[in-house]
């Protein structure tokens, strides 16, 4: 079989994904350039399978599969042979692949399925075949029938270029290029049948489009009229506070306080939001991002809640700590009613971590930390008390109080942080003051100062 397969030099293979960024030549590039081979014998069996699917070579495909080729092999863009057959409209090839257990709803790197590709390239016979085998039409659940109803924030997914993209912020967001800038994109990969995921996506989108504050990550737009749905926000290249603290360890009180004021201002904006306060519920260093100027912005509102006036929130299901619950308030861990003060508790732990240089109870597992907090145990103050001067230690202790009612609001926290910051600043200026005065006096009488301090 192999001896018959020698395509012309420079042949570009299979059509691009239906959701891939537009390419000038109508094909997508891959493998350090294009799918170009001088001899199919020199390539991997999986790629060989995709080439044969592109050529419609049934006999060659059968022989490869009989010899153990993986029918669900994926190339660098997560494309499968079934994607290729769907693009080309080869019904017999698609049927053969499906008979050999090809994954019918496989998604490539842009979220496109074989059915989506067949629809895009108008391969109606393949569409019927895939539908017969149970392929799903992934219509976005927020899709509107009338073009006039499409929201103003809607972004055409073909404008988002994920070439060389990498995952950021705990893998939740992916970097993409959009209209000449880098953006962060949160993609809803789950099937639309997962109503809880869709509802959470809609809730986060509803929050983000209402929020405007310099200490909160800026919402840019969303993809809601096609699948997969996406949320697009500004991309902050300096990374998150978690990575920063891993590199730096403990940071100076002045820097810690500046960071704390940024966080507090962003959180105060959310808590003071009208008509309903916004509770973040997942405030931790990995959800706090740094901008180019060194300031911090609160991000990731995937589990945020709206707090109606005079009400409190109670989770339907208990916290499971599947991700991290190292910064979670004890009332949330105990599945009790809670309000905005859960964010104040998390803030206290973050502020102490910046001074100490390590996460709260760093030697314990996440669930053990949450259990310690629920037992009214708090991380020890190991750093020098000089770093907690001017009331900083007392503020942290108030913020992580067992009784939420005893924790201050961010509106109360901000002026206290400013006063503490100014106290640290005055102390530094006092140290250099006498030297400056001495040098000024010395220069006024025409003498020069020596390095040893003598005249």
pLDDT digits (tens, 9 = 90+) for 100-112: 999 999 988 877 8
Whether 297 shows a pLDDT value over 50: the answer reads yes
At residue 387 the predicted structure's pLDDT band, cuts being 50, 70 and 90, is: very high
What is the pLDDT at residue 439? 42
What is the pLDDT at residue 306? 59
Summary mean pLDDT of the chain: 81
The domain ranges of the chain are 2-132, 147-234, 241-420
Give me the sign of the Cα torsion angle 110, 112, 114, 117: negative
Give CA 139 to chain center in angstroms.
24
CATH class of the structural domain 2-132: mainly alpha
Query: Which has the closest alpha carbon to 185: 230, 240, 238, 140?
Result: 230
- Looking at domain 241-420, its CATH architecture is Orthogonal Bundle (1.10)
Q: Is 9 left (phi over 0), alpha (psi -120 to 50) or beta?
A: beta
**Residue for token digits 């989506």?**
116
Predicted confidence (pLDDT) per residue in 388-435, tens digit: 999 999 999 999 999 999 999 999 999 999 999 999 875 544 444 444
At residue 171 the predicted structure's pLDDT band, cuts being 50, 70 and 90, is: low
What is the pLDDT at residue 223? 92
DSSP-derived letter for residue 243 is H
CATH class of the structural domain 147-234: alpha beta
Q: Is 282 assigned a catalytic role?
A: yes
Catalytic residue among 240, 282, 300, 339: 282
- Residue-wise over 200-235: b if at least 16 C-beta within 10 A, else e? bbebbbebbeebebebbbebbbbbbbbbbbbbbbbb
Beta strands in 116-247 (DSSP E): 160-161, 167-168, 173-178, 181-188, 219-223, 229-234
Predicted confidence (pLDDT) per residue in 325-366, tens digit: 889 999 988 888 899 999 999 999 999 999 999 999 998 988
- Return the top range by mean pLDDT from 20-34, 65-79, 127-141, 201-215: 65-79
Give me the sign of the Cα torsion angle 148, 152, 155, 159: positive
**328's tokens:** 């979670």
Whether 305 shows a pLDDT value over 70: the answer reads no
How much is the average pLDDT of 88-95?
96
Of 432 and 301, the structure prediction assigns the larger pLDDT to 301
What is the pLDDT at residue 322? 44
Predicted confidence (pLDDT) per residue in 28-79, tens digit: 344 433 444 455 555 789 999 999 999 999 999 999 999 999 999 999 989 9
What is the pLDDT at residue 314? 55
Query: Which has the closest alpha carbon to 225: 140, 112, 111, 151?
Result: 140
């Amino acid at each position: 079989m192999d001896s018959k397969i020698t395509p012309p030099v420079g042949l570009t293979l299979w059509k691009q994904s239906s959701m891939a960024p537009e390419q000038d030549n109508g094909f997508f590039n891959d493998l350090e350039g294009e799918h170009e081979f001088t001899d199919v014998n020199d390539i991997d069996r999986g790629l060989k399978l995709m080439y044969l699917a592109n050529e419609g070579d049934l006999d060659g495909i059968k022989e490869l599969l009989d010899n153990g080729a993986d029918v669900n092999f994926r190339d660098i863009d997560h494309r499968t042979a079934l994607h290729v057959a769907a693009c080309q409209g080869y019904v017999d090839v698609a049927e053969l692949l499906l008979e050999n257990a090809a994954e019918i709803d496989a998604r490539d790197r842009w979220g496109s399925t074989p059915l989506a590709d067949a629809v895009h390239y108008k391969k109606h016979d393949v569409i019927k075949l895939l539908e017969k085998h149970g392929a799903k039409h992934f219509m976005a659940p927020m899709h509107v029938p009338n073009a006039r109803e499409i929201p103003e924030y809607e972004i055409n997914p073909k404008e988002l270029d994920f070439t060389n993209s990498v995952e950021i912020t705990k893998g939740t967001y992916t970097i993409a290029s959009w209209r000449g800038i880098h953006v962060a994109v949160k993609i809803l990969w789950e099937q639309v049948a997962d109503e809880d995921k869709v509802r959470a996506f809609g809730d986060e989108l509803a929050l983000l489009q209402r929020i405007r504050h310099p200490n909160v990550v800026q919402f840019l737009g969303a993809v809601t009229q096609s699948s997969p749905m996406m949320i697009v926000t500004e991309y902050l290249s300096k990374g998150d506070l978690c990575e920063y603290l891993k590199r730096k360890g403990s940071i100076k009180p002045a820097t810690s306080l500046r960071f704390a004021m940024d966080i507090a201002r962003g959180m105060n904006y959310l808590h003071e939001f009208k008509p309903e306060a916004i509770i973040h519920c997942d405030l931790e260093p990995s959800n706090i991002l740094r901008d180019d100027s060194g300031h911090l912005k609160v991000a990731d509102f995937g589990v945020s809640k709206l707090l109606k006036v005079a009400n409190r929130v109670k989770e339907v299901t208990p916290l499971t700590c599947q991700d991290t619950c190292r910064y979670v308030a004890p009332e949330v861990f105990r599945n009790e009613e809670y309000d905005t003060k859960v964010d104040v508790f998390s803030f206290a732990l973050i502020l102490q971590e910046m001074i100490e240089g390590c996460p709260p109870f760093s030697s314990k597992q996440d669930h053990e930390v949450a259990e310690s907090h629920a037992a009214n145990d708090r991380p020890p103050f190991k750093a020098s008390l000089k770093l907690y001067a001017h009331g900083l230690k007392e503020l942290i202790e108030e913020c992580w109080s067992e009784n939420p009612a005893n924790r201050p609001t961010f509106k109360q926290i901000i002026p206290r942080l400013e006063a503490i910051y100014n106290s640290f600043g005055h102390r530094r200026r006092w140290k250099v003051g006498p030297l400056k005065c001495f040098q000024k006096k010395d220069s006024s009488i025409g003498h020069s100062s020596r390095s040893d301090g003598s005249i």
